[in-house]
Structures are given as structure tokens and as C-alpha cells.
Structure 1
Amino acid sequence: MKFLVLGAGRMGYAAVFDLIRSPKVEQVVVADFDIKRVETLLDLLADPKIVPVELDVKKFDEVVKLMAACDACISCVTYHHNYDLAKAALEAGTHFVDLGGNEAMVAKEFLLDDLAKERGISIMPDLGLAPGMVSMLAVNAADSLDELYEMRIRVGGLPVDPEGPLKYAQFFAIDGLINEYVEDCTVIRDGKEFQVPSLTDIEEIEFPKPFGKLEAFNTSGGISTLPKTYGGKIQHMDYKTIRYKGHCEQMYLLKHLGLMSSEPVQLPSGKVVPRDLLSDLLIKTLPQDEPDVVLVRVTVTGIKEREPVQIVWECIDYNDQADKVSAMMRMTAFPASIVAQMMARGDITDRGVLKQETSVPVKLFLAELESRGIKLTMTERAPVAT
């Protein structure tokens, strides 16, 4: 099998790291506009399967040519490009997955569904940790219940040793982080779908030591198509991001001041886009390459054999320092790599623009995660308040 990975940043590195370890993978083409990043990746991973390429993903014909030589493509570039890249995959006849990050962009990709079915291609947007892996955990739990009541999904990537007022570090693209804090969030309350502001509805959540009591709050995009999939079948559904206490208040202040706005502001020195300024400052000031941990808790409540039941999936995953793969890289890029390989092998037979919660064989997916050392625990208990 041959694969194309677009983007040689953190997530691209992790996707390549995973792909080259599969004995069925013959070749991994890694493409980035910055050839130095590709060369750095090649130096670190040093595997003959890797083929480095300099590529601007905005050059449609060049992208199509690279895709056409591969069985599947994983997009690890910013979400702005994913619709055009999905169209390129259709042109090339290549299966395609991306890490998502923006609900409006994902909605555009779903407009390609009929064409993808006609051409026998599988396209799966929004496939990483959240959305992605957590959706499959929720579905696995829901499928074991006779009646479904609620889904509560909580996810966070955190520095092991928090520093500074934000108690945070750079684990993925800052543009994507700001997007999560800016856009409204989709929730289901009392059976009805709503849009609620991000950085609201703070709750306390507790994990075992050394983490203790943390906070979780609304952020956008974490559950992608789940509300549509379960619309009319569930009373409550929401997604919240986990952070160290105090982070939400700090970010809300920045948002309230307008520093996350994309509207240009005229200053004596010239025009400035506040969001661009904030992004630049966060990139310069937030720690990078810090040891990290990903916390996951997916709680699904319903009825099983006439009794109320709560199923809880949990994971605490630390970075792999020896292989230079952070926890966020593992938990985001490995699911994309696993599913891309499933498409190429024929384990996923659905065609069109697909939802991960309905098209991925969940038991096989979970087995693949376990084989990579990602340990998930599932507990079934009597319902408790979440």
C-alpha cells in the first residue's frame, strides 16, 4: 500500500511514524511547502519507505498527480485546504481523510458525497482525536444500550507541568486552537439541537492524581456529525475541552477584548487583524515540545435490559519521549493513519463522504489503538451525575 501525507508538522510526523511501522505499507510520500520540514522528518525517522516532496497544496494539479500514485491520502494541513483537497482526491481516485477542525468546512466536504459514491471513493473528514476517536467510543457504548439518553464527551491535551497564566503549551496548530474558542458549539438539550457560545458552561471534572480537579467548558467542533447522527434519538449531548483551572477565564478575557476577531482594526501604525496578532503572540510565548498528556472521558447513559446504565470510556495517554511523539500527536494522527489503512486494505467498504461513527468498524479500530499502546478502559456502572 502507498500513502500520501500532506503536511510535515507535528501531526504529519506522527502519521508517517505510524504508517512506516505497518509491514503492508510500501511507501509514504510526505509533502510540504517547506522542504526543510520534510527533510527534518526524514532525518528523524530515517526510513527508506519515506519519499520527501516539496509541494504547495494550493496547486491543485500537482496535488492530484501525487494523490493518483497512492492508495490513500491523509491531510495534516490546516483545515482551510480540506475541501479543495477532497476534490483533488476525487479527481485522483484516491481515498482521503483529514483532521478537520472546522464545522463549516466539513459541511462543504459532505456536498461531495454523491460524486464520491459515483467514483467509488471514500472520504472521511474530521478524523483525529475529537472529533474522530471519541465519536467511535461513544458509538461503541451507545450500540450496547437498548435505549439511549445522553452522551457527555470530555477531552483535553495538557502540559504535564503547567506554566504561566494560561497553564497551556503548543500541542497543535494555534489557528485551530483559536477556532475552537471562537466558533459556537453544537449541543443537544432536551432532545433539541442548539448552538451555544464557546468558553461557557464551565464545570469541574476530576481525574486521578497528579491531575486532581480540573475544568471543562464548551468548545467547538469536537463532535462533528454526531448530533446529526443521533438527532431525535438522544436527550442530551455535549462536548467540552479539559484544561487546568483558570485557563477558560483567561481565554474568555482575550475573546471578550476582541483579540480573537478576524475583523481588521485601523491603528495609527496601520491595519491589524486581532486574531492574527493573537496567534503570532501565542506561537511566540506558549511553550513548545513540552511533555504532555491527553485526558479522555466519554460518558454514555441509557437503558440496558430494562435497567439504567452508564458506560464510561477513559484514557490517560502520555507522550512518547523516546520517539519524539507527543500524546496529542499519537491520539490525533494515529486514528487518521489507522482509518486510512483500513480504507486502503478494504476494511472500510462504504463509499462517499463518510461519518466515522457509522462507517468505521469500531472493534477493529479499538484493537488497532491497543496494538499501538493506547490503553482505553471501559466501565459499566449505575448512572451518576456528570
Structure 2
Amino acid sequence: MMASRIENVLVLGAGKIGGTIADMLAHYHELPVTLADLAAAPPGDDRLVRRVQCDVMDDVALAAVIGGHGAVLNALPFYLAERVATQAGRLGVPYFDLTEDVAATTAIQRIAATAGATLMPQCGLAPGVIGMLGHDLARGFDELHDLRLRVGALTRSANNGLRYHFTWSIDGVINEYCNPCVAIVDGKLMSVQPMEGYETLTLDGEPLEAFNTSGGLGTLCDTLQGKVRNLDYKTLRYPGHRDAMNFLLHDLRLIERRDILRDVLEYAVPHSRDDLVIIHASASGMRGGRYEQDSRTLRCHGANLRGKRRTAIELTTAAGIVGAFELLKEGMLPGRGFVSQEQVPLEDFLGTRTGHYYAGLGVEAIAA
């Protein structure tokens, strides 16, 4: 694999995550970035980030804006992923996205079979870096019994009845709470229900709960099928959140009326930028003839980037996709076809310019 000569980058979606991705590319790679969105571009004088207006539902406009760039990083809602990936694959432009949607990823795998470039979806936190971490833990065992992956995007003081404030996309939360999940149970690949698999745990003295949500594992179940006895992904929340959401989804049957559910959540649940991200992964099995467990836990916080305060979820999500882009740019990823997160060695990702946002997940941090 050879390094790619990429001289400019397109970021689709100028929301909080898209803006953070653009700032990371400008700050760490000093590349010209085009930040495109349906909304009209505001005036500005940023030397590296140029904002333009683009309707991705217009195939001609979408092809024109993609074709003028060396790579496209898609931060649009999950339901637009297949459309953008199709155009990128047709034009031979490397493509990255953040989708947690299983159907979109399956479609992109199909598109990648004939694409003239790398197509790498699910490049955020979960799915994304959590898949790299899970695969890294799995490689450390002679016989892998259980692999448990847990991630939570939380606010510091969620004092409402839901014990939750929004820190990212409402559509993304609804999607992961309502769609079927995949897991490996007793060696068999299975579909499990969202909001089920309830458990409680304590991390660094703090009580939390966890339950199944859709999409967090990406393609890891396919990769590890036949190599692990049990594998699952669950979302971390403060105690009480799952019961409150279960009331809305099932007792009030809003799982059947997602439009109404979205309106209720948008109206009643505040957004907050005072957040933190918690990552917890554990693996157990046989190693050197002895039954052992290995676990990693990390708390991520917000920080400034290019003079702007960015939240923990913005930084960790953007760091995942920008790190994947860097690995392609440096010739460390295949030059075409579908690439999954677990194909990336964790140490390679942590060595990228944005890998420091996940400092503490590597083996060297545990040894120290």
C-alpha cells in the first residue's frame, strides 16, 4: 500500500460533528477543507475551511462537489449514507462516514465491491474505535470466551426524569433504541432486541446501567464469528434512563410512531454541551493455559479546538473518522473496496495525529 496524494477534503454536513471534523482536518493536517451543507453558508474568512451550499438529494450537485475533492467524509444523517457512498464509489473518491445504521452499512459493502476507491463507513466512536478496541482485546487470547463492549455519551448532571440530556443526534438515538441489534450468544450470531439485556455496573465508583442498542458493533460480529463464545455491545446510561425510555417506546407505543417520538424528545429533553464519554471494554478467556480477563476503561472530556470549545462526543467522534482518513492518506489502508474498523490495528489508530483523544486505551497505558 502506498501513501495517497490527497490535496483537499470534502466534509458533508456542517453541524456540530461536521464542523469538528473540518476543524480537525485543518488543525492536524493543514489541508483545504470544503464544508458542505444544505443550509446557506455563512460568511467567514477561515483560511482552510471553505463553506458551501449543496443539496445532496440533487445527484448532479452531489457528484460535482464530490468529484472536485480527494476524499469525502460524510457527517450527514444515517439515511443519506448510501446515496453519498454510491456517488463516491462511482467517482473513485475515498469515502468515510459515521453511520450506525446496519442497513446502510450493508448497502455500502455491496457498493464497495465494484467501487474504484476505499469505502469505510462506521468511523466514529461506536461503531468505530470501539471495534478496533474490541478486536485488539480479542487478539490477546488463545481462546476467547466473552467480549463485552460498553460506551456512553452522558451529561455530567442529567437531573430530569429521563436522567439524560442530548449530546448528539436525536435521530441517531432513536435509531439505535428502536432497531434490532446483533450479538454472538453461545457461539451463534443472533438478532437481539434493543433496550433488552439490562445490566448494572459500577465504573470508578459511579453506578451506571447498560442495555442493548443497535449498530455499535459495526461488522465485528461477522469478523469474530466462530472465534468468540459471547460478544455484545451495550449503551451506558445513568440508572433509571432505560425504564423511562421503555415507557415511551413500549407502554406508549411510540416505537411505532417515531415522528411523534422525535417531536416529544426535541420539545422536552434539553441538549447539553457539558458532557463526557465513557468507554469500557472487557474480554475473558484462556491465555497461556489460565483463565484471565483484560479490561480497559476511559473517560473522555471536552476541549478547545481551533479556538472553539468542543464537547467530548464531538471530539471522540471526529477523531475516529479523521484518524481513519489519515491512515488511508499514509498508505496504511487498502486503496479500494470495503474496509471495516477492526481491520485497523488499534496501535496504528492511536499513533495518528488525532489518536491522542483516546490516549489510555493502549496496552502501554496499562503497563505504565
Common fold: TM-score over 0.5: yes
Provide structure 1 residue ranges, at least 5 long, that are not aligned to the other structure. 262-273, 381-386
Residues of 1 paired with 2:158 and 2:72: CA distance?
35
Deviations 1:143-179 (CA, angstroms, capped at 9, x unpaired): 2222222210000000011121112112221111011
Say if 1:100 and 1:125, in contact at 8 Å, map to a contact too.
yes
Matched, 1:341 2:326: yes
Inter-CA distance 214–291: structure 2 relative to 1 (3 Å threshold)? same
Say if 1:27 and 1:50, in contact at 8 Å, map to a contact too.
yes
Normalised to the residue count of structure 1, the TM-score between the two structures is: 0.87
Residues of 1 paired with 2:101 and 2:158: CA distance?
27
Q: CA deviation at 1:306?
A: 2.1
Matched, 1:309 2:292: yes
Matched, 1:224 2:229: no
Residues of 1 paired with 2:356 and 2:47: CA distance?
21
Share of identical aligned residues, percent?
Answer: 30
Deviations 1:21-51 (CA, angstroms, capped at 9, x unpaired): 124x42100000012xx43xx75xx631111
Inter-CA distance 73–142: structure 2 relative to 1 (3 Å threshold)? same
Q: Which moved more, 1:301-310 or 1:26-35?
A: 301-310
Determine the structure 1 residue equivalent to 2:253.
258
Say if 1:89 and 1:96, in contact at 8 Å, map to a contact too.
yes
Q: CA deviation at 1:368?
A: 2.5
Q: How does 1:214-293 map to 2 (within 5 A)?
A: 214-256=208-250, 257-261=252-256, 274-293=257-276
Residues of 1 paired with 2:221 and 2:262: CA distance?
30
Residues of 1 paired with 2:201 and 2:96: CA distance?
32
Matched, 1:3 2:2: no
Say if 1:73 and 1:340, in contact at 8 Å, map to a contact too.
no
Matched, 1:111 2:110: yes
* 1:150 counterpart letter in structure 2: D
Query: Which secondary structure does the structure 2 equivalent of 1:19 belong to?
Result: helix
Say if 1:314 and 1:378, in contact at 8 Å, map to a contact too.
no
* 1:112 counterpart letter in structure 2: I
Inter-CA distance 248–372: structure 2 relative to 1 (3 Å threshold)? same
Q: How does 1:60-139 map to 2 (within 5 A)?
A: 60-116=59-115, 119=116, 121-139=117-135
Residues of 2 paired with 1:175 and 1:344: CA distance?
31
Determine the structure 2 residue equivalent to 1:363.
347
Inter-CA distance 109–156: structure 2 relative to 1 (3 Å threshold)? same
Residues of 2 paired with 1:248 and 1:176: CA distance?
16
Residues of 1 paired with 2:361 and 2:58: CA distance?
44
Q: 1:30 aligns with which of 30, 35, 48?
A: 35
Residues of 2 paired with 1:92 and 1:185: CA distance?
33
Q: CA deviation at 1:57?
A: 1.1
Residues of 1 paired with 2:128 and 2:71: CA distance?
18
Say if 2:350 and 2:359, in contact at 8 Å, map to a contact too.
no
Deviations 1:95-150 (CA, angstroms, capped at 9, x unpaired): 0011012111111111113202xx2x100112211110000011112222222222
* 2:209 counterpart letter in structure 1: E
Determine the structure 2 residue equivalent to 1:145.
141
Determine the structure 2 residue equivalent to 1:157.
153
Residues of 1 paired with 2:133 and 2:286: CA distance?
17
The count of residues paired between Structure 1 and Structure 2 equals: 355
Residues of 2 paired with 1:249 and 1:367: CA distance?
40
Inter-CA distance 15–247: structure 2 relative to 1 (3 Å threshold)? same
Q: CA deviation at 1:370?
A: 6.6
Say if 1:134 and 1:153, in contact at 8 Å, map to a contact too.
yes
Determine the structure 1 residue equivalent to 2:316.
331
Determine the structure 1 residue equivalent to 2:3.
none
* 2:247 counterpart letter in structure 1: L
Query: Which secondary structure does the structure 2 equivalent of 1:52 belong to?
Result: strand
Q: CA deviation at 1:279?
A: 0.7
Inter-CA distance 347–6: structure 2 relative to 1 (3 Å threshold)? same
Inter-CA distance 377–346: structure 2 relative to 1 (3 Å threshold)? closer
Deviations 1:176-202 (CA, angstroms, capped at 9, x unpaired): 101111111111111011111111121
Say if 1:312 and 1:378, in contact at 8 Å, map to a contact too.
no
Q: Which moved more, 1:346-355 or 1:219-228?
A: 346-355
Residues of 1 paired with 2:94 and 2:37: CA distance?
19
Residues of 2 paired with 1:238 and 1:105: CA distance?
20
Determine the structure 2 residue equivalent to 1:351.
336
Q: CA deviation at 1:347?
A: 2.2
Inter-CA distance 163–16: structure 2 relative to 1 (3 Å threshold)? same
Inter-CA distance 114–299: structure 2 relative to 1 (3 Å threshold)? same
Residues of 2 paired with 1:122 and 1:234: CA distance?
28
Query: Which secondary structure does the structure 1 equivalent of 2:228 belong to?
Result: coil
Residues of 1 paired with 2:72 and 2:159: CA distance?
37
Q: How well do the aligned residues superpose, as a CA RMSD in angstroms?
A: 1.9
Residues of 1 paired with 2:75 and 2:154: CA distance?
21
Residues of 1 paired with 2:362 and 2:320: CA distance?
18
* 2:110 counterpart letter in structure 1: L
Determine the structure 2 residue equivalent to 1:180.
176
